[in-house]
């Protein structure tokens, strides 16, 4: 199998940001854990990505750890300082060395680090499954218009701009079913 699950920024740090909201957290945690567990059962390596920064909560080592409510024992962990998990980390080399050609993208924030990583991965030649229900984001307000956007609207917009161009949008069940299909073909 030439697939890896990428869990982006599912870290405690976010609970210390001004935009943190727990309204979608229970569903996200359930879907993210289901995806992690399903990949582990199928022998798919799980890659954990943490965002670190020079200031604020992302600079506090005690907060740069797995988000409470998730259990993950990654094959490898990388730390990034920009939006894409592929930029400035050893992730690309790690994937290539293992013959990984397909990525399953999940984590926090849907429209930011997950989307950016997806775009760069697709442009780098990877096939990408974007598991929106295993991503989390937060409501936002447009700086110029003042329009408010719900997390659901932001997720839908992300699906709109990624589908067919940068990724295949799938549910957790669809991602795991695809893995089962790949395992059956390999047997």
pLDDT tier, 183 (very low <50, low <70, confident <90, very high otherwise): confident
Whether pLDDT at 62 is above 90 = no
In terms of C-beta distances under 8 Å and separation of at least 24 residues, what long-range contacts does 120-125 make, across chains too? 120/84, 120/86, 120/87, 121/86, 121/166, 122/165, 122/166, 122/167, 123/166, 124/86, 124/92, 125/101
Domain residue limits, the chain: 3-186
**pLDDT tens digits for range 83-103:** 999 999 999 999 999 999 999
The pLDDT of residue 181 is 83
| For range 147-173, the mean pLDDT | 98
For helices 25-41 and 172-186, give the axis angle rounded to 10 degrees. Answer: 10
Q: Which of 112, 45, 49, 120 is nearest to 87 (CA)?
A: 120
Q: Are 47 and 72 within 8 A, CB to CB?
A: no
The highest-level CATH class for domain 3-186 is: alpha beta
The CA-atom distances, in angstroms, between 138 and each of 30, 47, 148 are 17, 23, 11
- 130-151 burial code (b ≥16 CB/10 A, e <16): bbbbbbbbbebeeeeeeeebeb
- The beta-strand segments (E) located in 68-161 are 76-80, 102-108, 127-136, 140-141, 148-149
The pLDDT of residue 1 is 62
The pLDDT of residue 61 is 76
Q: Which of 56, 74, 68, 71 is nearest to 11 (CA)?
A: 68
d(CA 138, CA 19): 7
């Amino acid at each position: 199998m030439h697939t890896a699950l990428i869990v982006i920024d599912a870290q405690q740090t976010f609970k210390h940001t001004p935009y943190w909201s727990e309204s979608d957290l229970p569903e996200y945690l359930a879907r993210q854990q289901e995806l992690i567990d399903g990949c582990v059962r199928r022998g798919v390596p799980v890659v954990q990505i943490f965002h670190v920064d020079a200031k604020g909560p992302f600079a506090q080592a005690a907060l740069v750890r797995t988000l409470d409510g998730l259990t993950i024992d990654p094959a490898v962990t990388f730390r990034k300082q920009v939006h894409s998990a592929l930029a400035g980390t050893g992730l690309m080399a790690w994937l290539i060395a293992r013959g990984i050609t397909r990525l399953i993208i999940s984590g926090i924030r849907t429209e930011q680090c997950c989307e950016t990583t997806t775009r760069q991965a697709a442009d780098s030649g990877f096939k990408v499954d974007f598991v929106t229900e295993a991503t989390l984001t937060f409501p936002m307000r447009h700086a110029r218009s003042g329009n408010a956007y719900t997390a659901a609207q932001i997720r839908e917009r992300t699906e709109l701009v990624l589908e067919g161009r940068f990724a295949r949008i799938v549910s957790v069940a669809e991602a795991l079913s695809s893995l089962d299909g790949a395992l059956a073909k390999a047997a």
